[in-house]
Structure 1
Amino acid sequence: MPFALSILDLATVTRGQTARDSFGHSVALAQTAERNGYRRVWYAEHHNMRSIASSATSVLIGHVAGHTERIRLGAGGIMLPNHSPLVIAEQFGTLESLFPGRIDLGLGRAPGSDQKTMYALRRDPSSAENFPRDVLELQGYLTGDSRVPGVQAVPRAETVVPLYILGSSLFGAQLAAHLGLPYAFASHFAPDALHEAVAVYRDGFKPSDQLAEPYVMAGVNVFAADDRAAAIEQKTVAYRARARAMIARGPAAGDFTDEEIDAFLASPNGSQLSGMTKYTAVGTPAEVRAYLDDFAASLDADELITTHHAQGIEDRLRSVELTGQAVLGDHENATLEPASDAARMLAHHRGLPPPVPGQ
């Protein structure tokens, strides 16, 4: 297989569920990914969004790490302008000390919120302008080579916390290339500049202590099911829910029928929203495998970050299982049973069990 397979877990809180339910689902999803050979699971920092429970990203990473054994976990990403680099270094130094060799730190410069929430978070809209400098300051704390005389991040892990630059424009590609860091493009919701950004990254890449050659990661949406009709239905329901959530954040908030949402998404005004999910694999495991193979080949991607959007957690877990089986094939930890396995794991985790012994 020419590319690694990973997951971005949005820690979704669906209607009628609580944040605690979402955290249980994230544990089940990470364990399913671990059992099926995925490389990592990431969580993104979002704020003031009732449908996403990963705002305290480092806390969620630590919780899931305590319930898994091997899979890498991390931020995809921390919106660094919202924070002091020292605080983030302390948080991820703590995580890496607790779970050595398993923690990633992806960094972005977007606020991860709306303008009012941005003010509540950092109060200074110009903070994003300092992103390159803040990345270097953070990197210094994590490596023990602080750029602020007399200040060290405590604790600092004995093992390395690798940095990743996230982006959806040429800026992130240029910065990742200049710093010699892996580059992850958010093509699961911002597809337009994907191929150009990857080309800019590769052309400008400078080797670093962390990375000798360019490493490209790209986001892609996935709906995998045992039959194509079920996968298409899951996609339809999920993208309707997404449209409703985004509309509700604006002046047009209100209740809309499925027919009204479908008509909006098909209209010129809704085309931008529809276009955000341009890169979506949907169908049977074989169909999803073919799509992901073609998508990765078009970029010569080293790794795909899949986002499984099915509204029901059982369907989401099954999508992770089927995709892992189709793309990764047999491996030493693949001991899957049929679809009932996902239901068993979900039932086991509804009560948020104690951590795995020894973790």
Structure 2
Amino acid sequence: MRGYQAGLLLVGLWLAACGSVKREDFDAELATAVCEKYVRCGLSYDADSCEQGLAVGFLAQHGLNAQYSVAINAGQMHYDADAAEKCLEKIRSGPCDVDPLSSRMLLEGVGMSADCRFLFGEVADGEACRWSGECGAPSVCSSTAPWYCGTCQPKRAEGAQSPSSLLCMEGLVSFQSTCQQPLKEGQSCDQPGIDYSEACEPDLICDSDSLVCRRLASKGEACDLQSHRCAWNLACIDGTCHALNGKGESCTAQAANVLDLSGCQRELFCDADPGAPGRCRPRLVDEGSSCRDYRECGRGLYCEGSDTGSGQRGTCRRLAREGESCDGRVCNFRFYCSESSRTCMPRRQFGESCADEASSCALGLSCNGRTCGGLDYNCHP
């Protein structure tokens, strides 16, 4: 009988664990969920390559453990494992017309947008805060300027004065310095004091030609790179929205630029000289491979010695890791090049000392002369 009861207990514990995700595992699980959707919706060609890219890119800078571990460990925020699992499932199974990493989610922070919340603040209204995640829902950290300390304040209702949409209740936007409902499809966004980037409902844009809120262009519809942009998982090629080209499919290489207009899926590059036809192929992963520019080398590599102006090819070289020399080399972005030792050292997090090396703070933070943080000298953990 005791064995039977023990078995039931184990089953119960297993079932309880199925509906939650541990905090230390969340970033990896988020990468898996996002990349499953990216592959399903045609943005990425390979889930493994996608996950590796997110792990050393987006998640290393904006992930749960990168941004909020200090606040969680200090008891200023708490992590809801069950809500986190529900958020992951929503991302994983969502329709392809919705970007899993929406601009609102990125603006408010992973785990703090109303549609995917699993981080909850413990700082009461009126008390000092560094960012909105420390405040209880539905409150926000209100400060005099970005990166400055503030106090937790209730979010503002429709009709209330507000200089920023982040201070308004979820679903509202700020224009004309007032919290208002966002504009619907077909409504004019040609209004004084309006922020064109956020005036329209989610998944709509303010057309810069007609100044009317409209949806992003779908596959086969006309497009350009300004007023008639394509949906998040499509590419504007020759004035028409197309699905991204997969491995081995034809493409036309573009000159190195901020925007890659070759039309290949993520983790692929167009293997041809600029302006010439080529094929989409996986980024080079072997150190020493010949490269035209940075886009051809895989994660953790950079193209050394290339000159796009003269057409001189370079060589894919591994980014320097912790403890390795950074003389003549580039450090992996998780590290900085120490002026004293000339080696790559781990970037320092919010609240850590930077008095000896001003360039040591993590990306997105600044050294205020003493510690890594925002611009406010009086803002400390």
Task: Report the TM-score range of the alignment, normalised by the length of the smaller protein.
Answer: under 0.3
TM-score (norm 1): 0.25
Q: Max radius of gyration: which structure?
A: 2
Higher normalized strand content (fraction of residues): 2
